Structure formats: C-alpha cells, structure tokens
Amino acid sequence: MTPATAQTARPAAPAAIIDGTAFATSLRQRVAFEVARIKNQQGLTPGLAVVLVGDDPASAVYVRNKGTQTRAAGMASFEHRLPSNADAETLLALVRQLNDDPSVHGILVQLPLPGHIDSDLVINAIDPAKDVDGFHILNVGLLGTGQKAMVPCTPLGCIMLLKDQLGSLAGLNAVVVGRSNIVGKPMAQLLLRESCTVTIAHSRSRDLPAICRNADILIAAVGRPEMIGADWIKPGAVVIDVGINRAERDGRSRLVGDVDFAAVSQVAGAITPVPGGVGPMTIACLLANTLTACCRIHGLPDPAIAV
Ligand code: NAP
C-alpha cells in the first residue's frame, strides 16, 4: 500500500501496475470463506439468479462465467433463459417469482435487454434487497444519500482497488470521465463517500485534458479506445481504466482501455491494465454483493469483505 499523496513531480519509475486479477482472486477466496462460514453456522447457502433474454453471444459468455464463479464460491447458481422475443410481462413474472424465492438472494438481469423491453421497468421490479447490480432506483437513492445500499459491481471494484492502493482517499481530487448510470455516476458517489473532491466529466465537458490533469485519481469510463494520453495525466496520479474496447492494433484485434496504457504508465503513479485490471473485479464484486444481500436478508452483519 502506498500513502495517499498528490504528487507533483514526474515519477522516476514507471507506474505500479494495479493487478485486478490477483485482487479479484483474493476477493473471491474471502467470499468463499465467508460463504462456508454462514453455511456451517447458519445453515444458509447464498443463491444468485441470472436472467438472460435472447442469444447475444457476449452476454451468454458473461452469464456462463458468472455461473461458474458463483458455484466455485460455494453459492447456488440459478440460470434462466428467455427467447429474444419474450414479452415484458413474461420477464416481469419471472422476476416476481425470483423475488419470492427464499433460495435466491441476488437477482441479475443481464443487460442490454432486447429493444422492445423497458429495462428500467424490469430493474425496478427486482426486490431492492436482492438487487445485486445496484441499479434499482431505491439503491441509487440510498447510495446518493450516503445510506447502506447495494452498490453497482464495477464502481465497487474500482473503489476496492483504489483503497488497496492508496489507503485513505480523503481530500484527493478525483475526476471521473463518463456519467453513465452503471459506472460514472455511482463511481462519483462512492468517491464522494470517501471524501474525495469529485469532478464528473463527459462528452460536453470543455478542455477535458485540463480537467484530467487536476486529478490525483482519474477514472476513465468512456468507451473510446486509448483516448486518454500521457499529457492528460498529473504525474504520480492513480489511473483506473474501466474501458473495454476492441481495437485493431498491429493488424490484430485486441482489447484496449480508454487510456493509452504504454504512454500513461510513464507518467502515472499507478495504473490498471486492460485486460487484467477492473474487468475481473466486476464478477468478484457480484459474488460479494450476493453474499452481502444474503446476510442482510437474514439479519446478519455485513460480511467482513464489504467496503
Ligand atoms: P456509456 O453508457 O456509453 O457512457 C460513456 C460515457 O462516456 C458517457 O457519459 C459519455 O458522455 C462519455 N463520453 C463519450 N465520449 C466522450 C468523449 N469523447 N469525451 C468525454 N466523455 C465522453 O458507457 P459505460 O457503460 O459507462 O461504459 C464505459 C466503458 O466501460 C465501456 O468501454 C465499457 O465497455 C466499459 N465497462 C467495463 C466494465 C468492466 O467490467 N470493466 C463494466 C461496465 C462498462 P455523454 O454522457 O455526454 O454522452
């Protein structure tokens, strides 16, 4: 762990690489340990239900990974598939059934949904106590007012990596580039909760490089391959790259982030790679949220793995 300092000099060495794969592995182990403990002590098995509508291949891969990792953590995994032409009422009926099922503690409806289904309607039909994605309007409001909420998995993973890297985040300037409901906005709320001074930037922001140069912590959640270059970075800053973009590099298709990793890692103090940074944290945090939901539903204290 390095102390939380807003450095002003160019670092002598390239940035430390924040290893999200290793952190996610250790988080999943801590979740599995706590799952085993509540099984033994309370006779409870946390259960996660994932609903997939349609046959989008990328979504199918995510859902399969979630199932595998859920079972590996000792939890019950329930997978529900509906055809792409399923109507909203069929999906809502399934959500209500899962809300009422005592063996299900977490419900995740894989997004995006087919265009004819209103995602907000479906998300807000999930029991907020089982809303392990943290997208239900009640959880959004609880997070925004500093109360105990289910927190969206990707921003939760980012904050865990930042606290592991920096310890206290209090007083640091944090810039979040991107204002989506699933990443940018909840990320900003979590940084505010940690007493950062938070700026949210977006496509209409003026002089984005200057805004970013003020950041002790820079979160990139844009979806534009390698948009953020070295001259946008305050020397020594901690850079968290949420972006996952497929781009042609050296004649091959590769996954790249929103940050130009090779250049920025010469200026930043620490940086997450893509892949292997934020990505692996998202499913690990989903497992953590399912365990937390199970504990809260049964009136148990939050598991020690929560931040
Ligand atoms: P999104 O809903 O498309 O939002 C993108 C945000 O970036 C918007 O707020 C947009 O501004 C802003 N933006 C777009 N172009 C910009 C520009 N040129 N300058 C400044 N801001 C710009 O995307 P998202 O769902 O938040 O995801 C963002 C990235 O994270 C994507 O690459 C996605 O694949 C990745 N992601 C990764 C994980 C993970 O597990 N690691 C999870 C979720 C998402 P406006 O609001 O003004 O349009």
Residues 214 and 113 in one domain: no
CA–CA distance, 282 with 24 (Å, rounded to integer): 8
Structural domain count of the chain = 2
Asked if residue 184 belongs to a domain, the reply is yes
pLDDT, mean of residues 202-206: 98
199 and 121 in a single domain? The answer is no
Confidence of residue 307 (pLDDT cuts 50, 70, 90): low
Same domain, 261 and 157: yes
CATH number at residue 250: 3.40.50.720
DSSP-derived 3-state class of residue 239 = strand
Q: Which of 83, 111, 127 is the C-terminal boundary of a domain? A: 127
For residue 203 and ligand 1, the question of a CB distance below 6 A is answered with yes
Query: Does residue 113 have a pLDDT over 50?
Result: yes
Write out pLDDT tens, residues 54-111.
Answer: 999 989 999 999 999 999 999 999 999 999 999 999 999 999 999 999 999 999 999 9
Q: Which residues are catalytic?
A: 66, 110, 133
CA 126, CA 95: separation in Å to the nearest integer?
Answer: 6
Q: Which of 202, 239, 254, 282 to mutate to test the pocket of ligand 1 (most atoms within 8 A of CB)?
A: 202
> Which of the listed residues 127, 162, 178 is the one where a domain comes to its end?
127
Query: How large is the average pLDDT for residues 256-261?
Result: 98
Say if residue 159 is in the same domain as residue 110.
Answer: no
Nearest Cα to 264, choosing from 220, 243, 225, 233?
233
Provide the residue range defining the domain that includes 227.
Answer: 152-279
The residue whose CA is least distant from atom 12 of ligand 1 is 178
Verify that 202 and 121 share a domain, yes or no: no
* Residue 190 CA to ligand 1 centre (angstroms): 17
Q: Are residues 274 and 161 in the same domain?
A: yes
Distance from Cα 33 to the centre of ligand 1, integer Å: 34
Using CA atoms, how far apart are residues 191 and 109, in angstroms rounded to an integer? 26
Ligand 1 center from residue 16 Cα (angstroms): 25
Model pLDDT for residues 3-38, shown as the tens digit of each residue: 444 444 555 689 999 999 999 999 999 999 999 999
CA distance 253 to 246: 6
177 and 222 co-located in one domain: yes
Ligand 1 midpoint to CA 94 (Å): 30
Predicted TM-score of the model (pTM): 0.95
Q: Quick check: is 28 in a domain?
A: no
Residue 120 sits in a domain whose CATH number is: 3.40.50.10860
73 vs 56: CA distance, rounded Å: 26
Q: Collapsing DSSP states into helix, strand and coil, what is residue 236?
A: coil
Residue 67 lies in a domain: yes
Residue of minimum CA distance from atom 17 in ligand 1: 203
C-alpha 272/C-alpha 275 separation (Å) is 9
